Amino acid sequence: MQKRLTLLGSTGSIGESTLDVVARHPEKFSVYALTAHRNGDKLVQQCLRFRPEVAVVGDAATALQVAAQLREAGCTTEVAYGPQALVEVSQSVHCDTVVAAIVGAAGLAPGLAAARAGKRILLANKEALVMSGAIFMDAVRDHQATLLPVDSEHNAIFQCLPREMELHGGVSKIVLTASGGPFRSREPASLAAVTPDEACKHPNWVMGRKISVDSATMMNKGLEVIEAHWLFGLPGERIDVLIHPQSVIHSLVSYVDGSVLAQLGNPDMRTPIAHALAYPERIDSGVAQLDLAQIAALSFEKPDYARFPCLALAMQALAEGGLASATLNAANEVAVDAFLSRKIGFMAIAQVVGAVLNGLHNRNALALDDVLEADAAARRAATEFIARISTADALHLAGTR
Q: Which positions touch ligand NAD (CB under 6 A)?
A: 9-15, 36-37, 39, 58, 101-103, 106, 124-127, 151, 205, 207-208, 210-211, 269
Residue 214 binds Mg ion (CB under 5 A): no
Nearer to ligand NAD, 39 or 397 (CB): 39
Q: Give the three-class secondary structure for 8.
A: strand
Shortest Cβ 36–ligand NAD spacing (Å): 4
Closest to ligand NAD by CB, 8 or 360: 8
Q: Which is nearer to ligand NAD, 220 or 254 (CB)?
A: 220
Binding mask 322-361 for Mg ion (x = CB under 5 A): ----------------------------------------
CB of 100 to ligand NAD, least distance (A): 8
CA dihedral angle for residue 231, residue 234, residue 240, residue 244, rounded to 10 degrees: -30
41 or 394, CB closer to ligand NAD? Answer: 41
Q: How far is the CB of 152 from Mg ion (least distance, A)?
A: 5
Nearer to Mg ion, 105 or 176 (CB): 176
CA 378 – CA 43 distance, rounded (Å):
32
Choose among Mg ion, ligand NAD, none what residue 15 binds, the Cβ cut-off being 5 to 8 Å by kind: ligand NAD
d(CA 201, CA 181) in angstroms, rounded, equals 9
- Chain centre distance of CA 236: 19
Among residues 151 and 393, whose Cβ is nearest to Mg ion? 151
Based on CB atoms, which residue is closest to ligand NAD, 23 or 256? 23
Q: CA-CA distance, 106 to 102, in Å (whole number)?
A: 7
Q: Judged by CB under 5 A, does residue 96 bind Mg ion?
A: no
Report the alpha-carbon distance of residue 149 to residue 33 in Å, rounded. 20
Give least dist CB 68 to ligand NAD, A: 19
Q: Which of 53, 96, 127, 151 binds Mg ion (CB under 5 A)?
A: 151
Is residue 136 within 8 Å of residue 230, measured between CB atoms? yes
**Cis preceding linkage at 280, omega within 30:** yes
Q: How far is Cα 215 from Cα 250, in angstroms, rounded to an integer?
A: 15
Nearest CA to 375 among 319, 333, 341, 326? Answer: 326
**Buried b / exposed e across 84-109, counting CB within 10 Å, b at 16+?**
ebbbbbbbbeebbbbbbbbbbbbbbb
Which partner, Mg ion, ligand NAD, none, binds residue 279 by CB below 5 to 8 Å per kind? Answer: none
By beta carbon distance, the residue nearest ligand NAD is 12
Please report whether residue 393 would count as binding Mg ion according to CB under 5 A: no
Q: Please report how close the Cβ of residue 189 comes to ligand NAD at its closest, in angstroms.
A: 29
Quickly count: other Cβ atoms within 10 Å of residue 112's Cβ.
25
Which range, of 2-10, 150-158, 251-259, 382-390, touches Mg ion by CB under 5 A?
150-158
CA distance 220 to 228: 12
For ligand NAD, the closer of residues 96 and 268 by Cβ is: 268
Q: What is the CA radius of gyration of the chain?
A: 21
Least distance in angstroms from the C-beta of 255 to ligand NAD: 26
43 binds, among Mg ion, ligand NAD, none (CB under 5 to 8 A by kind): none
Size of the site for Mg ion (CB under 5 A): 3
Give least dist CB 253 to ligand NAD, A.
Answer: 19
| Chosen from ligand NAD, Mg ion, none, partner binding at 248 (C-beta under 5 to 8 Å by type) | none
Closest separation in Å from C-beta 96 to ligand NAD: 21
- What is the residue-wise DSSP string for 284-342? --SPPPP-HHHH-----B---TTT-HHHHHHHHHHHH-TTHHHHHHHHHHHHHHHHHTT
CB closer to ligand NAD, 70 vs 211: 211
For the chain, helix, strand, coil in percent to 5 are 50, 15, 35
Which CB sits closer to Mg ion, 82 or 267?
A: 267
Parallel, antiparallel, or unpaired for β 171-178 and 249-255? antiparallel
83 C-beta neighbours (distance < 10 Å), count:
12
Region near Mg ion per CB under 5 A, out of 7-15, 153-161, 171-179, 314-322: 153-161
Phi, psi of 32 (to 5 degrees): -85, -45
CB of 142 to Mg ion, least distance (A): 27
Which residues are 359's β-sheet partners? none
Q: Which residues bind Mg ion (CB under 5 A)?
A: 151-153
